[in-house]
Amino acid sequence: MKKYLYLFPFVFLSACSSFLEVEPRTSISGDQVINDETSAKAALNGVYAALRSYYSVNYQSIAYLSGDNVEWTGSQSQIQEFINHKVNAENATLATTWNGIYKSIDRANNVIQDLTDYDQGNISDALKENLRGQAYAIRALNYFDLLRVWGGVPIVTAPTTKIGENMGIRRSSADQVYARVLEDLDTAEGLLDNSTDRTALTKKSVLALKARYYLYRQDWQRAIQYADRLLSDPDYELLDPYDSFFKNDVTETRESIFELFYSANEPNPHRGQWQPQTNGGTRQWAPNAALVKLLSSPETGGARAALIARDNQGRWYGNLYYRDPAKDPTYIVRIAEILLIRAEASAELGDYTQALTDLNRIRSRAALKARPSSTDKDQILSWIADERRLEFTFEAHRWFDLVRTGRAKQVLGIQEDFRLLLPIPYSQLLADPALEQNPGYSR
């Protein structure tokens, strides 16, 4: 009987019980196999549970704190390493994030293989295709997320059935992992239907992930091609006023392409990191002074000032995640990102009119003045970068944007090129001698 195991053996004994625990909607038992539609759906829910888990705090920590918007108010020195850009391989957040992403990959691999091999006849072909398509899409996002942090990583596409089975797999190059991402997205696109579901991956959300993928690959024409398909879809719109996509406890709005679902039974711990003690949080993540200045100004922040608030001691805190109980979604991709993808790609191709049109739609919704007509490519790209910084202030973009556009060293004062990728967790290097550390870091 197949076990749904972690990828690497050193975490198995300590984490096995929570990994195998069965909970409605969110996970699957390690002893459960796919034998009907109910168990097939439960297996896919387990993949989503792993995705939600690493996106709730750990992956966000890396994305936020490595950029220039957020400060850490806690006392753990290993968290401050991201802000200082002196991350050590022993960093616990790195290890937890790596394990969490590979856990999601392993669960996706199980679903893909089980449904591909399934021939008992009591699961419809349409459902098998849909569930497999979602698993492929999640695996594509998993590998894309690994790429953004570590570059090339081991590619594992078969389920783990016994401890230590996946040891000895060397790291693939970044280009090879990108190829894996695209292959999975292509497969998912072919399997999924064209419905609109904002908390599950559909063909439409795959198109969004492809637009992002091609932006990172600097394939500007294809980025525009996929963005166009979403921007012409009547199921999505840029909501006005700005806070319409998150205020008043709303979720799954027309602005959202894909967001991660949380509930009172499975709360999003993200909320507690932002909210102050008076609201039941710890406020360990907080907007830094530079960000507060930008968001508070009517010239730069405009309506996006709604993203921050003050507590009873006059301290600023982020207020995108605020619900009580913490049912806040994690926003993976919004239509605002697709607009700014098309704006950036258009500017890169010299279509400055389209670039400014899309940019100014974002600015208008934020109650900001339109940028003037310009044919200065660098200026327009700088404006788009500024807009992305504030539009996605508390979403996992800023650090990765700075790295992919080659501005991280200048903006953040990073001295060494190797710091633009983070070290492979030391625990993984100990567990598997086949893994090699990123250049510049000690083993």
Q: Is the pLDDT of residue 13 over 50?
A: no
Amino acid 77: pLDDT: 86
Strands 308-310 and 316-318 turn out to be antiparallel
Burial 306-315 (b: 16+ CB within 10 A, else e): bbbbebeeee
Residue 360 has pLDDT above 90, yes or no: yes
Q: What is the pLDDT of residues 183-199, one digit of tens each?
A: 999 999 999 999 999 99
DSSP string, 178-193: HHHHHHHHHHHHHHS-
Per-residue burial over 83-95, b = 16 or more CB atoms within 10 Å of its CB, e = otherwise: bebebebebebbb
135: pLDDT confidence band, cut at 50, 70 and 90?
very high
pLDDT category at 376 given cuts 50, 70, 90 is very high
Per-residue pLDDT of 400-416, as tens digits, reads 999 999 999 999 999 99
CA–CA distance, 147 with 124 (Å, rounded to integer): 35
**Please, what is the average pLDDT of the chain?**
92
Each residue's pLDDT tens digit, 336-353: 999 999 999 999 999 999
pLDDT of 75 = 84
The predicted structure's pLDDT at residue 17: 27
- Rounded mean pLDDT, 346-366: 98
With contact defined as beta carbons under 8 Å apart, do 49 and 4 qualify? no
How far apart are the C-alpha atoms of 262 and 268, rounded to whole Å? Answer: 6
CA atoms within 13 A on the CB side of 337: 24
pLDDT of residue 161: 78
Q: Are 335 and 238 in contact (CB under 8 A)?
A: yes
Question: Are the C-beta atoms of residues 106 and 7 closer than 8 Å to each other?
Answer: yes
Q: The pTM is what? A: 0.93
Average pLDDT (135-162) is 95
pLDDT digits (tens, 9 = 90+) for 82-107: 999 999 999 999 999 999 999 999 99
- Is 210:228 a contact under the CB 8 Å cutoff? no
Q: Which residues of 402-430 are buried (b: 16+ CB within 10 A; e: fewer)?
A: bbebeebbeebebeeeebbbbbbbbbbbe
Could you report the per-residue pLDDT of 22-62, keeping only the tens digit for each? 233 233 433 357 999 999 999 999 999 999 999 999 999 99
Look-up: residue for tokens 């788009």?
Answer: 384
Q: Report yes or no: 335 and 257 within 8 Å, Cβ to Cβ.
A: yes
Q: What is the CATH number of domain 1-172+413-443?
A: 1.25.40.390
- Where exactly are the structural domains of the chain? 1-172+413-443, 268-322
Residue 146 neighbours by CB distance under 10 Å = 22
* Residue 287 β-bridge partners: 70
pLDDT reading at 437 higher than 80: yes
Cα–Cα distance for residue pair 320/326, rounded to 1 Å: 12
Distances (CA, A) of 85 to 55, 125, 281, 291: 21, 49, 26, 19
Asked whether residue 327 carries a pLDDT value surpassing 80, the answer given is yes
- Say whether the peptide bond before residue 423 is cis (omega within 30 degrees of 0): no
| CB-CB contact of 286 with 315 (8 Å) | yes
